[in-house]
C-alpha cells in the first residue's frame, strides 16, 4: 500500500489558492461545539489522517521495567509527559565512525576457510530476536554483516555493520557494537531495525510493509570481507505461525479475519481494530501474531476505507463516521461463542483511531471485555472522517445517535509551511475547547477491566501521550478497581509496534507532499521491543 494523495494548498477543496480557508466551500459546523475555531475542522483536512494511518499500520510490535507504569487509584495521580521513558544508553544513536569502512581496512588480512556464520533460530516468529555470530576469524580481523529482505513491493531493504573479531576470533552481534555501519551501539536486532530501502531517492521517507498474503518473511544475512562473501544464511521469520488457522468472517454482518492457534483450546480471545485506513489489512498482521501467542484473534474491519472495491466489505460504511458501537459489541459476542474460545476471557486491542473505538466501546458495553489495550490512544471522541466536503458528525453512534465529539482545528499554515504535514497541533488545539471536551471525554472509569495504554511523546499525528495522561487522570479520579497501566516512550513516534522491523521513517513521502509521523529510528526500535513485551505480559495477566 502507498500514500495515494497528499493535497497541497491549491488542491484542497477548502483552501483557496492563496492558502487561506475557503469558508464558502466549508460545510456548516454542527451545533453543540461552542468553539468557532474548532468548528473549522472539516472532512477534507481530516481525510489526510486516514491516508496517513493507511501506510503506518502496514508495519506491521526484552526488557522488564523499562516503560512508564501508572496504577490508577484514588490516591495515585497520573504521571505527566515528563515521565515518558527515554531509550536506554545503547539506543542513544551515537555516531559510528562512518557508514562504510575505508578500503584499506581489508588490507593485509587473509581469511581462512573455517569462517562460519551462525544465525539462530533458523525459523521463528517475527517478534523473536536472533542470535547472530561469526566464528573462525583471526583476533582483530574485520568482517561486515549485511542483512536484507524484501517488502510488499518486492523492493530490497538492507543494513550492514562492520566489526572486529574478539580475542577468540568471533563476532557476537548481541554483545559487540560495530565500528562502521547502519547503526551504533550493541543491538541484537540492529541489522533489522536500521534497514533502509535501496535505490530510492528518499529512503528515510518510506515505510516498510510486509507482503499481505505471505506467511513468512525470508531474511538473508551475509558475512563479507569488503565485497567478498565469506558466508551466507537465510532464516525464516514467520508472519503467521505454522498451524495457525486463518478464516474469513462474515456472520452477523461482521467483516473480519479470524486467526485460531494451532493448539487446542479453550483460548482467550481478542478483537483487533486497526486505524483510520479502514478494512482489515492493518489489523490482520497483529491478529496473526497474537494467535501465535495463544489467543484467538479477530481482525475486525469496521468501515471500508481504502478497500471500497472489496466485496467482502460491501456491507460496511464507506466512511469513518457514525460507526455504531453495537457493531463491536456484536463482534465480541460472536467471538466468545466460537469453538476453542474461553467466553470469560475476551479482550479488545485498537491502534490510533481503533484505540478510540476500543476505549469508548468498552466504556459503553463494560461487560463485553476483560481487558482493553489502546495503542496511540485518544481521551475523547473525535469527529468522523467523511470522504470530501459535507456535513460532519461523530465517529461513533449508540442506538443510532451520534456521540458528542471534538473537532480537529484546521490551520491553513499546515499546507503553506513547506514542511511535512503534522496533524498533532490541530488535535492539541481541539483539546483546548473545554466545553466540547467535557461532553466528548470517554468515560473510561466505566470500563470493567484493566486498561493498558501505549503512547509516544513525539507522535506527530495526534498527542497520544497527552491524551494517555488525561485518560489516566480520569481513571485516578474515579474508583476503578483494576491495575491500569500507561506506557509512554520519549522520542518515539506514531508508528510503533510490532518489534524487529525497519524503523527508518519519521516522515512519509507522498505524491503531493510529506506526512510527519514523528519518532527517531532507535527510539522507535526500543519502544517497539519494550512495549510489545509489556503488551504480551498484560494480556497474560488479564486473560489467563
- Under a CB-based contact definition with an 8 Å cutoff, are residues 490 and 518 in contact? no
Has residue 167 been placed in a domain? yes
Same domain, residue pair 141 and 257 = no
State how far the Cα of 275 lies from the Cα of 280, in Å rounded to an integer. Answer: 9
| Residue 160 belongs to domain with CATH number | 2.60.40.2240
Has residue 344 been placed in a domain? yes
Whole-model pTM: value is 0.85
Has residue 6 been placed in a domain? no
What total of structural domains would you count in the chain?
2
Same domain, residue pair 305 and 224 = no
- Under a CB-based contact definition with an 8 Å cutoff, are residues 144 and 179 in contact? no
Same domain, residue pair 274 and 343 = yes
Same domain, residue pair 486 and 458 = yes
- Under a CB-based contact definition with an 8 Å cutoff, are residues 109 and 143 in contact? no
Has residue 10 been placed in a domain? no
Has residue 36 been placed in a domain? no
| Residue 536: count of CB within 10 angstroms of its CB | 18
Has residue 321 been placed in a domain? yes
Same domain, residue pair 127 and 251 = no
Last residue in a domain, options 196, 217, 238: 238
The closest alpha carbon to 502, from 209, 103, 239, 100, belongs to: 209
**Residue indicated by cell numbers 466536503:** 389
Same domain, residue pair 211 and 357 = no
Same domain, residue pair 274 and 368 = yes
Same domain, residue pair 178 and 53 = no
State how far the Cα of 355 lies from the Cα of 57, in Å rounded to an integer. Answer: 13
State how far the Cα of 308 lies from the Cα of 155, in Å rounded to an integer. Answer: 26
Has residue 410 been placed in a domain? yes
Sign of the C-alpha dihedral computed for residues 150, 282, 68 and 345 taken in this order: negative
Same domain, residue pair 128 and 244 = no
Same domain, residue pair 100 and 244 = no
Q: Which residues pair with 373 in a beta bridge?
A: 349, 452
- Under a CB-based contact definition with an 8 Å cutoff, are residues 267 and 296 in contact? yes
Domain that holds residue 334: 44-89+240-543
Contacts of 335 (CB under 8 A, 6+ apart): 269, 271, 296, 298, 341, 346
Would you write out the chain's pLDDT as a tens digit for each of its 544 residues? 222 222 222 223 222 222 222 333 333 333 333 333 333 333 333 333 434 443 333 333 222 222 333 333 322 333 335 589 998 888 877 667 778 899 999 999 999 999 999 999 999 999 999 999 999 999 999 999 999 999 999 999 999 999 999 999 999 999 999 999 999 999 999 999 999 999 998 999 999 988 878 999 999 999 999 999 999 999 999 999 999 999 999 999 999 999 999 999 899 999 999 998 899 888 999 999 999 999 999 999 999 988 888 899 999 999 999 999 999 999 999 999 999 999 999 999 999 999 999 999 999 999 999 999 999 999 999 999 887 777 899 999 999 999 999 999 988 877 777 788 999 999 999 999 999 999 999 999 999 999 999 999 999 999 999 999 999 999 999 989 999 999 999 999 999 989 999 999 999 887 778 889 999 999 999 999 999 999 999 999 999 8
Has residue 20 been placed in a domain? no
Last residue in a domain, options 198, 220, 238: 238
Same domain, residue pair 231 and 354 = no
| Residue 540: count of CB within 10 angstroms of its CB | 13
Last residue in a domain, options 218, 238, 258: 238
Q: Which residues pair with 385 in a beta bridge?
A: 320
Same domain, residue pair 344 and 461 = yes
Residue 385 DSSP label: B
| Residue 511 belongs to domain with CATH number | 3.40.50.1820
Residues 336, 340, 344: CA angle, nearest 5 degrees? 40
Amino acid at each position: 500500500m502507498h500514500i495515494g494523495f497528499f493535497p497541497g494548498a491549491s488542491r484542497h477543496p477548502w483552501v483557496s489558492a492563496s492558502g487561506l480557508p475557503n469558508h464558502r466551500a466549508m460545510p456548516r459546523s454542527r451545533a453543540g461545539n461552542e468553539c468557532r475555531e474548532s468548528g473549522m475542522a472539516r472532512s477534507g483536512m481530516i481525510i489526510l489522517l486516514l491516508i496517513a494511518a493507511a501506510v503506518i499500520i502496514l508495519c506491521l510490535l526484552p526488557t522488564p521495567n523499562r516503560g512508564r507504569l501508572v496504577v490508577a487509584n484514588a490516591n495515585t495521580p497520573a504521571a505527566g509527559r515528563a515521565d515518558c521513558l527515554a531509550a536506554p544508553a545503547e539506543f542513544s544513536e551515537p555516531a559510528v565512525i562512518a557508514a562504510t569502512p575505508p578500503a584499506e581496512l581489508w588490507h593485509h588480512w587473509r581469511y581462512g576457510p573455517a569462517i562460519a556464520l551462525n544465525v539462530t533460530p533458523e525459523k521463528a516468529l517475527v517478534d523473536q530476536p536472533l542470535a547472530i555470530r561469526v566464528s573462525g576469524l583471526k583476533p582483530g580481523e574485520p568482517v561486515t554483516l549485511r542483512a536484507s529482505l524484501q517488502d510488499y513491493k518486492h523492493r530490497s531493504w538492507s543494513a550492514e555493520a562492520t566489526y572486529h573479531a574478539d580475542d577468540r576470533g568471533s563476532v557476537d552481534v548481541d554483545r559487540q557494537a560495530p565500528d562502521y555501519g547502519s547503526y551504533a551501539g550493541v543491538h541484537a536486532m540492529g541489522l533489522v531495525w536500521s534497514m533502509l530501502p535501496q535505490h530510492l531517492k528518499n529512503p528515510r521517507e518510506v515505510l516498510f510493509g510486509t507482503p499481505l498474503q505471505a506467511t513468512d518473511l525470508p531474511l538473508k544475512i551475509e558475512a563479507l570481507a569488503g565485497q567478498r562473501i565469506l558466508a551466507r544464511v537465510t532464516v525464516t521469520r514467520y508472519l503467521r505461525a505454522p498451524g495457525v488457522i486463518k478464516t474469513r468472517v462474515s456472520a452477523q454482518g461482521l467483516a473480519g479475519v479470524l486467526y485460531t492457534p494451532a493448539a487446542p483450546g479453550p483460548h482467550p480471545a481478542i478483537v483487533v481494530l486497526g486505524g483510520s485506513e479502514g478494512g482489515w489489512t492493518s489489523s490482520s498482521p497483529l491478529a496473526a501474531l497474537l494467535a501465535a501467542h495463544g489467543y484467538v484473534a479477530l481482525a475486525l474491519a469496521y468501515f471500508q476505507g481504502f478497500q471500497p472495491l472489496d466485496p467482502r466489505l460491501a456491507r460496511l460504511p464507506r466512511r469513518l463516521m457514525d460507526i455504531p458501537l453495537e457493531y463491536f459489541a456484536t463482534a465480541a459476542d460472536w467471538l466468545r461463542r466460537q469453538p476453542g474460545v474461553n467466553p470469560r476471557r475476551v479482550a479488545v486491542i485498537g491502534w490510533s483511531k481503533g484505540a478510540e473505538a476500543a476505549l469508548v466501546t468498552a466504556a459503553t458495553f463494560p461487560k463485553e471485555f476483560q481487558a482493553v489495550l489502546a495503542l496511540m490512544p485518544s481521551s475523547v471522541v473525535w469527529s468522523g472522517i467523511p470522504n470530501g466536503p459535507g456535513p460532519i458528525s461523530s465517529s461513533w453512534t449508540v442506538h443510532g445517535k451520534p456521540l458528542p465529539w471534538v473537532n480537529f482545528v484546521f490551520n491553513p499554515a499546515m499546507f503553506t509551511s513547506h514542511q511535512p504535514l503534522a496533524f498533532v497541533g490541530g488535535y492539541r488545539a481541539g483539546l483546548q475547547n473545554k466545553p466540547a471536551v467535557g461532553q466528548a471525554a470517554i468515560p473510561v472509569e466505566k470500563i470493567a477491566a484493566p486498561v493498558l495504554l501505549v503512547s509516544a511523546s513525539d507522535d506527530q499525528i495526534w498527542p497520544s501521550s497527552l491524551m494517555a495522561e488525561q485518560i489516566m487522570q480520569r481513571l485516578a479520579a474515579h474508583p476503578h478497581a483494576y491495575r491500569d497501566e500507561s506506557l509512554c516512550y520519549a522520542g518515539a513516534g506514531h508508528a510503533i509496534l510490532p518489534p524487529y522491523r525497519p524503523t527508518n521513517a519519521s516522515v512519509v513521502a507522498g505524491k503531493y507532499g510529506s506526512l510527519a509521523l514523528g519518532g527517531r529510528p532507535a527510539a522507535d526500535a526500543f519502544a517497539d521491543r519494550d512495549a510489545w513485551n509489556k503488551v504480551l505480559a498484560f494480556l497474560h495477566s488479564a486473560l489467563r
